[in-house]
Structure 1
Amino acid sequence: MSVVERWFGADFTQLHPLLQSLHRKGGKLHGLVDLQLGRGLAGIIGARLATRLGIPAELARVAFQVDIHDTDNALHWNRCFADNATLYSSFQPSGNWPNGYWLESTGSLKLALAVDVHQGGWYWRPLKAWLHGVRIPLWLLPRTEAYKRIEEGLYHFYVGFSLPLLGKRLSYSGTLQLDNPAPAR
């Protein structure tokens, strides 16, 4: 049983069957993603964030792939934009759905993220944040919206960051196809 199945328990079936399969077996998804930067100061800040994440901010659409797999105690997402450097994230479960959360570690940033399920889709909701191990209030970070869901049999996702008063900093989204599925665990 995968770490995601254990975390959701009997409610794992609330996820769309294709998301269930991805989180049972793991897999690599690929496709094109649309990149959008905000305007003005938010766009300048968004371009800097994109560069730090390995996202080529000068392009509006790039090739993207993500390898999603789990170990006994963590979920891993390894993202690559335009064959650039890979952005590694690990997610450790805490508690169980619906009251538990995942602790995402990406570089020096850690986020505690709850999961909401809507029409079979997985929607992240930030709860807490740490930078270099120091707890910081969420209002100091960009607002984050992130989800994955199935649309017309394909994996659709969105990740967006915005700043109060300034608006959108950066977003990337796309519809991805599954490479050859991994064998069942």
Structure 2
Amino acid sequence: MAEPIAPESATDDTAVSRWFGSAFGQLHPQLQTLHRRGGTLHGPLTIRFGRGLVGVFGRRLARKLGIPTDGTVHRLQVGIHHLDGRLHWDRRFDDGARFASTFRPYGRWPDGGWIEETGAITLRLQVDVVDGGWQWRCIGARLGRWPLPLWLLPRTHAGKRIEAGDYRFDVSIALPLLGEVLGYGGLLQLADDGDQ
């Protein structure tokens, strides 16, 4: 029986540090540590929905992503680790189902990017470093084998930064002319090994 593959060790370079190269130092030191050693972030966050039909669409999208649909304060847990040259995020809202994403790097920063694979949806993402924080920028998407035109995609703003020693996560999904359909954000803390 084969032994399970362990996440890349804290002393190794990870997919993130290799992809950034010398620009890795532009990230806040806490984000550098998180992306070298991995860890679990947890804490409260607020979920937002648009009004009217936009909100109905946002709640349907939330259900598909395992996000609570009541638009109140909830708890988020995000496990971040590296394995086989990829970045892995495992999200869980409250005690709900796990929502996993795998990010595969291509090229190098600033011109390269990441391919996020989540079920049938594949996103092509680039990264902007803003004040030591990490901002995702979607530059393409596929549904199965079919490419989706960018004008058809919702506008997504997602990122993390350090704020007063905690990890500020913000995600916003908006439709052109209609505004935000779904968003969530909050300050998360790095869990001690005993908290996980």
TM range, smaller chain: over 0.9
Residues 95-149 of structure 1: CA deviation (Å, up to 9, x unaligned)? 0000000000111111110000011000011111101121111111111000100
Of 40, 48, 62, the residue aligned with 2:74 is 62
SS in 2 for 1:96: coil
- Equivalent residue for 1:160? 172
- Equivalent residue for 1:4? 16
Contact 1:94/1:103, CA 8 A, preserved across alignment = yes
Whether 1:119 and 2:131 are equivalent positions in the alignment is: yes
Whether 1:98 and 2:110 are equivalent positions in the alignment is: yes
- Equivalent residue for 2:96? 84
Higher RCO (C-alpha 8 Å, min separation 6): 1
| Structure number with larger C-alpha Rg | 2
SS in 2 for 1:146: strand
Q: Which amino acid aligns with 2:66?
A: G
- The TM-score with structure 2 as length reference comes to 0.90
- Equivalent residue for 2:120? 108
d(CA) in 2 for partners of 1:136 and 1:59?
A: 29
Whether 1:169 and 2:161 are equivalent positions in the alignment is: no
SS in 1 for 2:95: coil
How far is the alpha carbon of 1:58 from its aligned partner?
1.2
Contact 1:3/1:75, CA 8 A, preserved across alignment = yes
Contact 1:2/1:72, CA 8 A, preserved across alignment = no
d(CA) in 2 for partners of 1:58 and 1:177?
A: 24
- Equivalent residue for 1:32? 44
Contact 2:15/2:86, CA 8 A, preserved across alignment = yes
- The TM-score with structure 1 as length reference comes to 0.96
d(CA) in 2 for partners of 1:142 and 1:55?
A: 17
Contact 1:69/1:77, CA 8 A, preserved across alignment = yes
SS in 1 for 2:124: strand
SS in 1 for 2:136: strand
Alignment gaps of 5+ in structure 1: none
Contact 2:58/2:182, CA 8 A, preserved across alignment = yes
SS in 2 for 1:80: strand
Q: How does 1:9-20 map to 2 (within 5 A)?
A: 9-20=21-32
SS in 1 for 2:89: strand
How far is the alpha carbon of 1:59 from its aligned partner?
4.0
How far is the alpha carbon of 1:78 from its aligned partner?
0.5
After superposition, the CA RMSD in angstroms is: 1.2
d(CA) in 2 for partners of 1:72 and 1:9?
A: 18
